[in-house]
């Protein structure tokens, strides 16, 4: 058994423990997230070779994307297991069990050939996002579909489904000097000092870890004119949660995320934003923020 380091996601350290004799490989996006093993590990990941036979178990929850099964939950005599599938072929890719008391994951997968060598790729998509998701069910975190960026003074989040202009907004701000934290998936975290920060997570492409303080959340939509409608109360909570990544296999998780969203919206403003995708949207947003202070 070898401890090979850790991955740091939004300040949480995932210890990596190899319980096999095989080399481990990880997707490109992990490269800059590796750290040496520090004094504190928040979640331990233990990698094992080979699958367990769950032939007699039944699926009690299935997570799908475009009808493709990504992962499912099976409650067995040996506890709750996550079965994770290849997003294109549908083949079983990982079997994972989480111990919420010890904060430990056991992740099983089969060896595969990589550069003439037998290796394990234990966090291949969608295993890693599942780890981040389960983390959000226990910590003051939300995993959101959004573009997040900072202009050095303020951090802003643009949340919405594909096609509403998240990446367009990120591009406009980036061309005007802002730094994009990520334009698809972000973790929002309540820090110990009471501030909220947004963090990127490993993607399928190489990107270094980035974070920024968060001040404003916008829900953009295409519009013939730039418009802004402030949101508050239950509607703001529901609007934010509509763009969080969530799975309702446990109602307590839904309630937890609702509580976190409520807490976030006590200090972060939220508004629906009608957008004409030109540079004018930057002045429009800044003017509205200034008039609100």
Partner 1 sequence: MNSLLQSIFKHKPSFVCKNTGEELLLIPLKDNVADFNQYLVLNELGAFIWNLIDETTTIASLQEKILQEFEVTAEQLNADLSVFIPELHRYTCGS
**8 Å CB contact between 109 and 128:** no
Judged by CB under 8 A, the stretch of 79-87, 102-110, 162-170, 234-242 that binds partner 1 is 234-242
**8 Å CB contact between 133 and 73:** no
Judged by CB under 8 A, the stretch of 34-42, 96-104, 117-125, 254-262 that binds partner 1 is 254-262
Binding mask 26-65 for partner 1 (x = CB under 8 A): -----------------------------------x----
Beta bridge partners of 196: 190
Please return the burial class of 61, using the count of CB atoms within 10 Å of its CB with bins 0-12, 13-18 and 19+: middle
- Considering only 24, 37, 190, 241, the residue that binds partner 1 (CB under 8 A) is 241
**8 Å CB contact between 216 and 289:** yes
Least Cβ distance, residue 89 to partner 1 (angstroms): 24
Residue 234: φ, ψ to 5°: -65, -35
Q: Which stretch of DSSP H or E encloses residue 206?
A: none
Least Cβ distance, residue 269 to partner 1 (angstroms): 16
- Considering only 237, 275, 281, 285, the residue that binds partner 1 (CB under 8 A) is 237
Say whether 161 sits in a helix, a strand or coil: coil
Judged by CB under 8 A, the stretch of 83-91, 168-176, 179-187, 244-252 that binds partner 1 is 244-252
- Considering only 213, 255, 287, 292, the residue that binds partner 1 (CB under 8 A) is 255
Looking at the Cβ atoms of 190 and 241, the one nearer to partner 1 is: 241
Question: Which positions from 256 through 285 interact with partner 1, judged by CB under 8 A?
Answer: 258-259, 262
Sign of CA dihedral 261, 139, 83, 75: negative
Least Cβ distance, residue 238 to partner 1 (angstroms): 4
Looking at the Cβ atoms of 212 and 240, the one nearer to partner 1 is: 240
**Which among 160, 161, 100, 157 has a CA at the least distance from the CA of 131?**
100
| 254 counts as binding partner 1 under rule CB under 8 A | yes
How far is residue 139's CA from residue 133's CA, in Å, rounded to a whole number? 10
- Considering only 68, 176, 234, 280, the residue that binds partner 1 (CB under 8 A) is 234
Least Cβ distance, residue 65 to partner 1 (angstroms): 12
Judged by CB under 8 A, the stretch of 85-93, 197-205, 237-245, 276-284 that binds partner 1 is 237-245
**Which among 157, 156, 172 has a CA at the least distance from the CA of 279?**
172
| 251 counts as binding partner 1 under rule CB under 8 A | yes
- Residues 6+ away with beta carbon under 8 Å from 167: 147, 183, 184
Least Cβ distance, residue 85 to partner 1 (angstroms): 18
Looking at the Cβ atoms of 63 and 281, the one nearer to partner 1 is: 63
| 249 counts as binding partner 1 under rule CB under 8 A | yes
**8 Å CB contact between 85 and 70:** yes
How far is residue 32's CA from residue 201's CA, in Å, rounded to a whole number? 10
Q: How many residues line the site for partner 1 (CB under 8 A)?
A: 20
- 10 Å Cβ neighbour count for 243? 20
**8 Å CB contact between 203 and 29:** yes
Residues in contact with partner 1 by CB under 8 A are 61, 233-235, 237-239, 241-242, 244, 246-249, 251, 254-255, 258-259, 262
């Amino acid at each position: 058994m070898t401890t090979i380091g850790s991955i740091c996601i939004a300040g949480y350290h995932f210890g990596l423990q190899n319980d096999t004799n095989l080399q481990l490989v990880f997707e490109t996006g992990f490269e800059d997230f590796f750290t040496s093993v520090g004094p504190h590990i928040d979640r331990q990941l233990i990698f094992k070779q080979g699958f367990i036979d769950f032939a007699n178990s039944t699926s009690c929850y299935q997570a799908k994307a475009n009808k493709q099964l990504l992962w499912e939950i099976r409650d067995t005599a040996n506890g709750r297991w996550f079965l994770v599938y290849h997003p294109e072929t549908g083949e079983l890719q990982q079997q994972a069990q989480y111990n919420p008391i010890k904060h430990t994951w056991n992740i099983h997968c089969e060896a595969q050939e990589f550069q003439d060598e037998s290796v394990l790729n234990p966090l291949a998509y969608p295993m890693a996002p599942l780890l981040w998701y389960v983390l959000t069910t226990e910590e003051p975190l939300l995993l959101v579909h959004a573009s997040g960026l900072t202009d050095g003074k303020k951090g802003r989040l643009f949340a919405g489904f594909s096609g509403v202009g998240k990446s367009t907004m990120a591009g406009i701000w980036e061309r005007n000097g802002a730094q994009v934290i990520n334009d698809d998936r972000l973790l929002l975290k309540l820090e110990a000092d009471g501030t909220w920060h947004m963090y990127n997570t490993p993607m399928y492409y190489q990107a270094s870890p980035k974070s920024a303080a968060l001040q404003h959340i916008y829900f953009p939509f295409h519009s013939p004119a730039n418009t802004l409608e402030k949101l508050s109360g239950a509607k703001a909570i529901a609007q934010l949660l509509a763009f969080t990544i969530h799975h309702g296999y446990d109602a307590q998780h839904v309630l937890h995320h609702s509580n976190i969203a409520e807490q976030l919206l006590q200090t972060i403003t939220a508004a629906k934003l009608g957008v004409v995708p030109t540079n004018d949207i930057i002045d429009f947003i800044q003017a509205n923020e200034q008039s609100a202070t």
